[in-house]
Chain A
Amino acid sequence: MRRLTFSLMLVLGMIGGLATAADAPGVVSTTVPPAAVPPAADLAAMAVIDGPTESVAGQLVVFDAASSTGTGYDWLVSADVNTDGLWQVFEDGRYLAFASPIPGKYRIVLSVAVEGQSNVVELTFQNGEPGPPPDPPPFPPGQKWQVVIVYESAQLDNYSPEQQSIIKSLTFREQVTAAGHKILSGGIIDQGAPSRTGEPPKSLAPYLAAAKSKSLPRLCISAMTGGTVQTFPLMADEAAVLNFLNGVK
């Protein structure tokens, strides 16, 4: 939803260039319905939506009604969730911009009218699960790190198989160690793991604190000499983590 607010100018720019989010990777686009232009003499209202049929949650997409015949564009977006604030129309209703952080199916409905006759078209749009976050920029090569991975064990099934491997693979831990980094003792840790006192374990407390209230799973690192703990969303797979720690671009 935030993307919608900051992207107004972007939307207008995209519209001006007749580019839509369908140009973005991973976006499937279509035109509904196939173009069937009636003879001018029988000019009738015809609603046409040009736009993607699927994208990923959080990505801005634009639906284009400019190929429609008629005036008075009326749009409606509906879904199982409240769609208030997720969409907005521009250019006298010829374009609709949409962005939602919530995955699921959304119905995009357009109605146009000519001399009291209206025509309605509906497009079903699949707002897919967001992909893994982009990897952060690399560190300078040669830096060695103390490493802690914080996760939620009750959510293991919702992590990708590759992220489960980062958390659980013995082979991966050996690769991290062989590269000169150090996974701290107890450093593959559920966010709620207690010490015997019920408090977070002292040596891991700074890492748990740094990861607190942030999305999990999380990679937490600090220099071998100590200092500030930096945290990052856990990368997509073991190779990405190793490259990140090793400063490989």
Chain B
Amino acid sequence: MAIIRIGDNNWREFLPENGILERTVLYGSPEARALGMVPIEDTLDVLIPWDDMKERIDEANRKRQMPVHYLEAANHAPHNQGGTNYCWAYGITLCLEALRLMENQPYRRLGPASLGWLVDWRNRGHYLSSAIKGMWERGVASAEFCEDGTTDRETFKAGWEDDALNHKLHEWTDTDSSDDEHMAQQCASLLVAGLPLYEAFNWWKHALARVGVVWDEKERYNLRWIDWNSHGDGRIEMTGSRGIPDEAYAPRVSTVSL
């Protein structure tokens, strides 16, 4: 199956979804910090200089040190949110699934629908910041407890809430989206450092996970992004101005559950 690529030439073909509410918690604010979203300048502030970007990205792909390499090596099947507006849950869950592999934890398929409590089990979009808080508080259950594409917790297997405590994300790096080029540099630097990105696009009203980047001199900033979508497609690619997320958060530590 051909990989979907979304760029400035075709983005209008992708209709806005109802998966996210635009960010209201300001970058670097006390509220953001209280949610565990640490500004990038506090932690991973040493960005890859643009002059070195090609070499570093090529090297990271050659050594397979980005989340996409782990997902593909694990034959991670795409999630499918179906008719739900839970992309905010699927995006953050994919980040956790990838981070676990990069921490050398055993592969574990998780059930994003178990985060539905955050919207009171209604079929609603949500804030990424609230999803980050909810993931930290209660975690996400294994897929064996809850299938994709539902908002009905009655279909979940007993014990899902306890199982979810094994799968949390604890530490995050927040990015500064005030400038597109700077945002691209931050995203590429974090991916090369081996961190997934939980991201959202306001034009698309959609959240997903960014898991890789390729140096491509035909594209804006010479970057072609690899994202993991939740419509049964898994890997897609994004380019151009529409490929720069409006918010992106890099989870750095997950619960160790072996």
> Could you list which residues of chain A lie within 8 angstroms of chain B, going by C-beta atoms?
153-158, 161, 164-165, 167-173, 183-190, 192-196, 200-201, 203-204, 238
Q: Which residues of A contact B194 (CB under 8 A)?
A: 156, 164, 167-168
Q: Which residues of A contact B102 (CB under 8 A)?
A: 168, 188
Report the 3 A-B pairs with minimum CB-CB distance, sorted nearest first: A168-B194, A153-B252, A157-B46
Docked complex Cα distance between A185 and B257 (Å)? 9
Q: Is B104 a contact partner of A187 (Cβ separation < 8 A)?
A: yes
Taking the nearest CB of chain A, how far is it from the CB of B163, in angstroms?
A: 10
Q: Which residues of A contact B253 (CB under 8 A)?
A: 153, 190, 192-193
Docked complex Cα distance between A188 and B101 (Å)? 10
Docked complex Cα distance between A238 and B38 (Å)? 30
Taking the nearest CB of chain B, how far is it from the CB of A102, in angstroms?
A: 19
Contact of A196 among B44, B59, B166 (CB under 8 A): B166
Q: Which residues, 48 to 77 on B, are CB-close (under 8 Å) to A?
A: 56, 59-60, 62-66, 69-70, 73
Q: Is B193 a contact partner of A156 (Cβ separation < 8 A)?
A: yes
Q: Is B45 in the interface zone, CB < 8 Å from A?
A: yes
Q: Which residues of A contact B66 (CB under 8 A)?
A: 168
Taking the nearest CB of chain A, how far is it from the CB of B156, in angstroms?
A: 19
Q: Is B256 in the interface zone, CB < 8 Å from A?
A: yes
Are A188 and B170 also in contact (CB < 8 A) when A153-B252, A168-B194, A196-B255 are?
no
Docked complex Cα distance between A156 and B252 (Å)? 10
Q: Is B16 in the interface zone, CB < 8 Å from A?
A: no
Docked complex Cα distance between A194 and B105 (Å)? 13
Q: Is A170 a contact partner of B64 (Cβ separation < 8 A)?
A: yes
Q: Is A172 a contact partner of B63 (Cβ separation < 8 A)?
A: yes
Name 24 A/B residue pairs within 8 A (Cβ), A-sorted.
Answer: A153-B171, A153-B253, A154-B38, A154-B171, A157-B43, A164-B65, A164-B193, A165-B65, A167-B194, A168-B194, A170-B65, A172-B63, A183-B104, A185-B105, A185-B106, A185-B258, A186-B258, A192-B170, A192-B171, A193-B103, A195-B255, A196-B165, A201-B256, A238-B63
Docked complex Cα distance between A203 and B105 (Å)? 12
Residue of B nearest to A168 (CB): B194
Q: Which residues of A contact B80 (CB under 8 A)?
A: none
Taking the nearest CB of chain A, how far is it from the CB of B124, in angstroms?
A: 28
Taking the nearest CB of chain A, how far is it from the CB of B88, in angstroms?
A: 23
Docked complex Cα distance between A164 and B60 (Å)? 9
Docked complex Cα distance between A164 and B105 (Å)? 18
Docked complex Cα distance between A238 and B255 (Å)? 27
Residue of B nearest to A170 (CB): B64
Contact of B255 among A156, A168, A172, A194 (CB under 8 A): A194
Docked complex Cα distance between A156 and B46 (Å)? 9
Taking the nearest CB of chain A, how far is it from the CB of B211, in angstroms?
A: 13
Q: Is A193 a contact partner of B170 (Cβ separation < 8 A)?
A: yes
Docked complex Cα distance between A158 and B193 (Å)? 10
Docked complex Cα distance between A203 and B252 (Å)? 21
Q: Is B189 in the interface zone, CB < 8 Å from A?
A: yes
Q: Is B230 in the interface zone, CB < 8 Å from A?
A: no
Taking the nearest CB of chain A, how far is it from the CB of B200, in angstroms?
A: 22
Q: Which residues of A contact B44 (CB under 8 A)?
A: 154, 156-157
Q: Is B252 a contact partner of A154 (Cβ separation < 8 A)?
A: yes
Docked complex Cα distance between A186 and B255 (Å)? 10
